[in-house]
C-alpha cells in the first residue's frame, strides 16, 4: 500500500468519525486523529490507545506533517506507527532500539521489518542510546515514550545521549518525554523495582544538555495512583500517573 493512499483513507476515516471521539481524545488534533484512524493499525495497538492516550500526547508534542522524527526506544513501534501517519509521505520516522533489545525481544525486529514494507517513511535505527548517529540539525522532534526509566537500567551515558539529541534537533526542535511518576525526591532509585522515575530528576538531566522545558501536559495524569506500586500491578496498570514533558532546543 502506498503512503499516499493509506493516509488518504485514514484522513477520511478520521473526519467521518470525529464526532464520536471519546472524552479522552477531546484535545486531539485532526492530523493526529487521522493517524490514529489509519486502517492498517494492528488491533492490538489500537486497544492500547485507551491506556496510552496518544491523541492528546502527540497533539501536545507539536509534531506535524512533513517532520523528521526519531522515536527512541520504539520497541514494537506502537508510537512509531502513529507518528508515521502524522508526518505523512513528506516526513520520516526513525524507530530506534538498542541492539541488546533487538536480541532479547525477538518480536521487535519482525514488526519493524513489516512496518517498513508498508510505511516507506519508517526506518529502523538499531543503535545504542548514547551512540545515536544522527546528523546535527537533522530532526524536528524526538520522542521517548515511557522509556527514560529503562535507559537508566542500561550501561548508557545519559548525559551524552541528551547532548546528542540536542545536537541532532533543529533550532526550535522538540524533545517529548513521558514516563511513570515515582515519588518526588527518589531520583532513579526505583527504576528497577517499580519501573518509575522522579520527574524532576529527568528534567534536570535533560536541561543540563541545554534544553528548556516548554510545557507539561496532564493527559496521562491519574490522581488515583499513589506512585508506590510497580507499573505492572493490575491495580494501576494502564492508569499509572505519568508526566508528559515537552522540551525545546532554544532557537
Q: Where are the domains of the chain?
A: 42-248
The hierarchical CATH code for the domain 42-248 is 3.40.50.150
- Model confidence pLDDT, tens digit, residues 173-210: 999 999 999 999 999 999 999 999 999 999 999 999 99
Query: For the segment 6-40, what is each residue's pLDDT rounded down to a tens digit?
Result: 544 444 444 444 433 333 445 899 999 999 999 99
pLDDT at 44 over 50: yes
Give 226's contacts (C-beta < 8 A, 6+ positions apart). none
The pLDDT assigned to 14 comes to: 45
Residue for grid cell 548517529: 133
C-alpha count within 13 angstroms, C-beta hemisphere, residue 59: 19
What is the model's pLDDT at position 40? Answer: 94
Alpha carbon distance 205, 187 (integer Å): 11
Give dist(CA 154, CA 209) in Å, integer. Answer: 19
158 pLDDT exceeds 50?
Answer: yes
Q: Residue 246, class by beta-carbon neighbours within 10 Å (0-12 exposed, 13-18 middle, 19+ buried)?
A: buried
Q: What grid cell was written down for 114?
A: 513489516
Mean pLDDT over residues 115-127, rounded? Answer: 97
When the pLDDT of each residue in the chain is averaged and rounded to a whole number, the result is 91
Give the global pTM: 0.90
Higher pLDDT, 157 or 22: 157
Is 139 in a helix, a strand, or coil? strand
pLDDT in tens, 202-250: 999 999 999 999 999 999 999 999 999 999 999 999 999 999 999 999 8
Amino acid at each position: 500500500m502506498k503512503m499516499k493512499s493509506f493516509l488518504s483513507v485514514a484522513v477520511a476515516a478520521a473526519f467521518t468519525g470525529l464526532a464520536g471521539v471519546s472524552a479522552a481524545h477531546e484535545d486531539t488534533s485532526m492530523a493526529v486523529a487521522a493517524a490514529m484512524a489509519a486502517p492498517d493499525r494492528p488491533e492490538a495497538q489500537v486497544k492500547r490507545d485507551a491506556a496510552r492516550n496518544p491523541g492528546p500526547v502527540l497533539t501536545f508534542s507539536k509534531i506535524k506533517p512533513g517532520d523528521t522524527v526519531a522515536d527512541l526506544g520504539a520497541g514494537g513501534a506502537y508510537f512509531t506507527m502513529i507518528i508515521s501517519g502524522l508526518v505523512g509521505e513528506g516526513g520520516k520516522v526513525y524507530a530506534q532500539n538498542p541492539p541488546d533489545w533487538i536480541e532479547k525481544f525477538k518480536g521487535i525486529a519482525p514488526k519493524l521489518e513489516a512496518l517498513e514494507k508498508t510505511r516507506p517513511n519508517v526506518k529502523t535505527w538499531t543503535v545504542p542510546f548514547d551512540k545515536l548517529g544522527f546528523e546535527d540539525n537533522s530532526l524536528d522532534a524526538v520522542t521517548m515514550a515511557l522509556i527514560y526509566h529503562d535507559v537508566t537500567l542500561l550501561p548508557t551515558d545519559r548525559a551524552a545521549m541528551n547532548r546528542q539529541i540536542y545536537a541532532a534537533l533543529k533550532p526550535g526542535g522538540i524533545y517529548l518525554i513521558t514516563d511513570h511518576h515515582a515519588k518526588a525526591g527518589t531520583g532513579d532509585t526505583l527504576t528497577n523495582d517499580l519501573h518509575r522515575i522522579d520527574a524532576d530528576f529527568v528534567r534536570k538531566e535533560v536541561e543540563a544538555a541545554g534544553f528548556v522545558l516548554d510545557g507539561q501536559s496532564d493527559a496521562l495524569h491519574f490522581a488515583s495512583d499513589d506512585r508506590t506500586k510497580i507499573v505492572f500491578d493490575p491495580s494501576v496498570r494502564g492508569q499509572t500517573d505519568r508526566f508528559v514533558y515537552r522540551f525545546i532546543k532554544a532557537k
